[in-house]
């Protein structure tokens, strides 16, 4: 039975991607249905058997993409490359859209070993060139998969995964999932991560007899042991950061339980999807002053501004679409530039008119407009809310406006952690 869709985020983990080498799969060389000179190419995605992975990519527009990864597995033993890829059925074929975007859909792949070196979960892809041949410039993306509550529960009960809480020790002591251990991500940095992660694993591996047996039988290396990270819940990025540290320390078999403490201790049986993003008021990271990104809203579209020396602007798929230079966004493509030219001449004229009015005129006109806009709709909204058993919505106006000026934005959201461009 197919599990519900879980998004697997792609991530660059130091130089791991550049160290993963592969050649074009047999399918491209032997199967005519992937030969554009012999047949018309058609979209294909693999049959999902366990966890569905979605990975956004960006390439040339209207270009065919072939992707492949190792097969999914429930076994703990790390296999060699041939066995891991098997019949190469965890592969697909699709075409990018007019903006060069596409989403790879596949099963969560397994790590595998070559010459005593274990490679993390990853996916390869190549594109069709203008000469109608598949490019030998293979691109690789390291990924790690997300477990839902049921899958996490099974791993917890089987005691064949080391499960690590990434929060500070005080938070772990206040509320923790029994059978899990604490390695605060705040205690790690690139200089100490290797020693700290190794010491942590050496200390806790003794508590997992089944894993010790596999190590003694040479079926897995100590650095191949399965690990799960978790933190508070959706909106908390500590578990993702901890996963990255652990993988960079050489332990490649890592997955994440994004639901974390919030989901584990929530007894409700709602069918909310893991793909649903928390609303503004539910996302605790909005008030995290250590965030690596800030949210910016342009023409009702959310972007992320990377708060480092790079100053990249990222879209919802974490793909770079521009860069902040001297307080101005320079977009990567003409499409992005046109899409985000959102302040019309009319808006600017209104701002100029407002500046020319006296304070009394502004107050009077503002109150008159507010009364006109809201008098007819307030009663209806309140009646609807009363029927639902709730109080009138005091915040509906935040979402009802399709476009606001910079002046309005500054008044509404000053100090909320957003930037207006």
Q: Tell me: the pLDDT tens digits for 16-25? A: 444 455 567 8
Q: Please state, in angstroms and as integers, the Cα–Cα distance from residue 104 to each residue in 92, 124, 218, 356, 411, following that order.
A: 8, 10, 34, 53, 41
Q: Please state, in angstroms and as integers, the Cα–Cα distance from residue 244 to each residue in 157, 159, 227, 256, following that order.
A: 25, 23, 12, 11
Tokens of 234: 């959706």
**Which domains are seen in the chain, by residue range?**
16-142 (2.60.40.10), 149-264 (3.40.250.10), 345-402 (no CATH)
Report the pLDDT value the prediction gives residue 408, as an integer from 0 to 100: 56
Of all residues in the chain, what percent are helix, strand and coil, respectively (each to 5)? 35, 20, 45
Q: Where are the beta strands (DSSP E) in 210-249?
A: 227-230
Q: Tell me: the pLDDT tens digits for 303-318? A: 888 877 777 888 877 7
- Measured distance CA(34)–CA(46) in Å, rounded: 15
Give the H/E segment covering residue 114.
Answer: strand 112-114
Q: Tell me: the pLDDT tens digits for 126-152? A: 999 999 999 988 999 888 789 999 999
- Measured distance CA(54)–CA(223) in Å, rounded: 27
Cross-strand bridge partners of residue 165: 182, 230
Strand order in the sheet with 122-127: 91-95, 64-69, 122-127, 139-142
Q: Which residues of the chain have a pLDDT value below 70?
A: 1-23, 267-292, 300, 334-421
- Measured distance CA(414)–CA(419) in Å, rounded: 9
Report the pLDDT value the prediction gives residue 273, as an integer from 0 to 100: 43
């Amino acid at each position: 039975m197919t599990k519900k869709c879980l998004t697997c985020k792609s991530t660059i983990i130091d130089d791991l991607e550049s160290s993963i080498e592969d050649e074009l799969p047999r399918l491209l060389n032997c199967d005519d249905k992937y030969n554009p000179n012999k047949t018309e190419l058609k979209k294909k995605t693999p049959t999902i058997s366990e966890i569905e992975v979605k990975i956004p990519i960006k390439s040339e527009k209207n270009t065919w993409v072939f992707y492949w990864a190792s097969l999914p597995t429930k076994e703990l033993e790390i296999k060699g490359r041939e066995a891991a890829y098997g019949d190469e059925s965890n592969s697909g074929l699709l075409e990018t859209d007019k903006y060069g975007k596409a989403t790879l859909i596949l099963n969560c792949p397994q790590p595998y070993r070559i010459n005593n070196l274990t490679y993390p979960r990853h996916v390869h892809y190549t594109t069709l060139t203008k000469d109608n041949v598949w490019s030998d410039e293979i691109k690789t993306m390291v990924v790690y998969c997300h477990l839902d509550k049921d899958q996490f529960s099974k791993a917890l009960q089987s005691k064949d995964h080391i499960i690590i809480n990434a929060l500070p020790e005080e938070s772990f002591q206040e509320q923790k999932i029994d059978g899990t251990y604490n390695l605060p991500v705040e205690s790690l940095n690139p200089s100490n991560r290797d020693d700290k992660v190794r010491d942590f694993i050496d200390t806790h591996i003794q508590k997992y007899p089944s894993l010790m047996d596999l190590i003694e039988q040479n079926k897995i290396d100590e650095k191949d042991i399965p690990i799960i990270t978790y933190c508070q819940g959706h909106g908390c990025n500590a578990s993702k950061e901890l996963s990255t540290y652990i993988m960079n320390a050489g332990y490649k078999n890592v997955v994440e339980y994004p639901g974390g403490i919030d989901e584990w201790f929530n007894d409700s049986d709602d069918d909310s999807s893991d793909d649903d993003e928390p609303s503004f008021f539910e996302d605790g990271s909005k008030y995290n002053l250590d965030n690596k990104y800030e949210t910016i809203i342009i023409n009702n579209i959310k972007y992320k501004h990377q708060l480092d020396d790079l100053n990249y602007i990222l879209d919802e798929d974490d793909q770079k679409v521009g860069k902040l230079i001297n307080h101005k966004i320079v977009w990567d493509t003409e499409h992005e530039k046109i899409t985000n030219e959102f302040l019309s001449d009319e808006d600017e004229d209104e701002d100029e008119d407002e500046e020319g009015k006296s304070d009394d005129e502004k107050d009077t006109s503002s109150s008159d407009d507010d009364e006109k806009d809201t008098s007819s709709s307030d009663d209806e909204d309140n009646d609807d809310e009363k029927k639902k058993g709730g109080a009138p919505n005091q915040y509906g106006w935040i979402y009802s406006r399709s476009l606001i000026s910079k002046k309005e934005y500054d008044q509404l959201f000053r100090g909320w952690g957003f930037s207006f461009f």
